[in-house]
Chain A
């Protein structure tokens, strides 16, 4: 068990937190001295008890919140952010929702339309372009949300428990598809979850955070290569890794 987590040497981290603390106006301390780094093309997952400041990490990384102390460095041209909710605009069709961020970034219309088409295809929603969010299931809405971020081709991708509200079957399916996107685009990912299985299945490293005030307490390296077959979830090695992470979670 290491106390700080460093990316492999000789690479510049895509995302680095050094001694980051966050104290809210009401006095709540969400983070104390959080250190972590994500290398380009690396998939890192953070698990921790609820209220340990996991989401605060992402909010600080994306600039939605400011750190009270410490340093945050993001080396990225484009940051993708996937919220807990799909946050789709209910009056926009799937196609127009997927195109929203590109629209806000004033992307050229032709280019935008091409990327929107590709992204819809990538998440398997071809044929649903004209549907409205209220006509979609929760899993499909989350696919739209993923596609919306993919359109901007982010090189750093932040996920705030995106599949937390989905049923187990849909979640596993979306995990498989998320990995497929990751292999294709090889962004740096920081993924927050409270599911140990999801964390182990997706990431190269799992970081375990302590309860509030949150800091990174342990790190588990997942040795499986990408692409990962869905069946590795049932392997003994996978179960052992999940056991290890769960053990740390109990200790913190």
Chain B
């Protein structure tokens, strides 16, 4: 190749033509417009969800205060009673936080295992149609099998403590990672595949340099769904396997049987907050990793 820098620089037709406008990097623009946009974003992101929350709390007060009698109120105590007894009373809240710790451990260990196994399974399935055909249906079955049916066999092999809980968590969180990652790996543009084909790229290089990076956005949305599910998985696991350290699921079942509505709902609140936290964390992580080059289409 005779790439001659000098003559290229000397040629008149160098550089983008007037018609070719460089798109401004996201976020840049007229200061006024930027402000208006971020005000709109603020409204969408915080104010509207808050309004829904306010409606929800209002509905709660209505049901608890008017639909239930004083004797029935243990089922759904007034929100401020839940806060007062379950959160502001340190002796109660301490127990919930202690339980939260163990739930968090199961959630994250379970999620990490799901991520590794899920991505590996999807990569394997993406390599040949026959592998996908033979494995995918069983991933679906795993997703739909009632955990209740598995408790005897899980407890026989793995006992009634953390190991079994983690396995339940993995069973629940595994599928969205597999399906999203597989979808991402398989939706790579045909032209890009052909580009790699033209240069006799190995299967591994194609996977590493093309398919995996292209699948990252889909993979992360799978992680995000799985993160929320792994909290549910951990709590369901604790519900069935109660030996060892008590987690939120253990507490829920205890408070529920003792008709301690305030502590039951305070625990539920904490469990939801954990779910929201991991969901938000994975959203943030996803924007950090792929947000630079991937912009989801907005309506």
Chain A residues within CB distance 8 Å of chain B: 62-64, 79, 81, 83-85, 87, 89-91, 100-101, 103-105, 115, 118-119, 121-122, 124-125, 128, 131-140, 150-153, 167, 169-170, 173, 176-177, 180, 184-185
Chain B residue with the shortest CB-CB distance to A134: B293
Counting residue pairs across A and B whose Cβ atoms lie within 8 Å, the total is 114
Partner of B196, one of A83, A104, A173: A104
Asked whether B20 lies within 8 Å of A83 as measured between CB atoms, the reply is no
CA distance A162 to B20 in the complex (A): 16
Give chain B's interface residue range (CB within 8 Å of chain A).
35 or more
Inter-chain contacts of A170 with B (CB < 8 A):
17, 19-20
Asked whether A104 lies within 8 Å of B25 as measured between CB atoms, the reply is no
The 8 nearest A-B residue pairs measured at CB? A153-B1, A118-B3, A124-B14, A104-B199, A87-B191, A169-B19, A137-B20, A139-B20
Inter-chain contacts of B38 with A (CB < 8 A):
none
Asked whether B19 lies within 8 Å of A139 as measured between CB atoms, the reply is yes
- Tell me the dominant secondary structure on chain B's binding face: loop
CA distance A87 to B198 in the complex (A): 13
Task: Using A135-B23, A167-B19 as known contacts, say yes or no to A87 and B195 having CB atoms under 8 A apart.
Answer: yes
| Smallest beta-carbon distance A2→chain B, Å | 32
| Smallest beta-carbon distance B23→chain A, Å | 5
| Smallest beta-carbon distance A50→chain B, Å | 18
| B16 within 8 Å of A (CB atoms) | yes
| Smallest beta-carbon distance A207→chain B, Å | 23
Asked whether B292 lies within 8 Å of A132 as measured between CB atoms, the reply is yes
23 inter-chain pairs at a CB distance below 8 angstroms, sorted by A residue, are A64-B194, A81-B195, A81-B198, A83-B194, A87-B189, A87-B195, A90-B294, A104-B205, A104-B209, A121-B9, A124-B8, A125-B16, A131-B22, A136-B23, A137-B20, A137-B23, A138-B20, A140-B20, A169-B18, A170-B17, A173-B13, A177-B13, A184-B4
Asked whether A135 lies within 8 Å of B22 as measured between CB atoms, the reply is yes
CA distance A154 to B213 in the complex (A): 28
CA distance A35 to B210 in the complex (A): 36
Other A-B contacts than A83-B191, A134-B293, 15 sampled, CB-CB below 8 A, are A63-B198, A64-B194, A64-B198, A83-B194, A83-B195, A90-B294, A91-B213, A104-B205, A104-B209, A115-B1, A122-B3, A124-B15, A139-B20, A170-B19, A180-B8
Chain A residue with the shortest CB-CB distance to B9: A121
Inter-chain contacts of B4 with A (CB < 8 A):
184
| B2 within 8 Å of A (CB atoms) | yes
For window 250-273 of chain B, which residues contact chain A by CB distance below 8 Å?
none
Asked whether B191 lies within 8 Å of A62 as measured between CB atoms, the reply is no
Inter-chain contacts of A135 with B (CB < 8 A):
22-23, 25
Inter-chain contacts of B7 with A (CB < 8 A):
184
Inter-chain contacts of B8 with A (CB < 8 A):
121-122, 124, 180
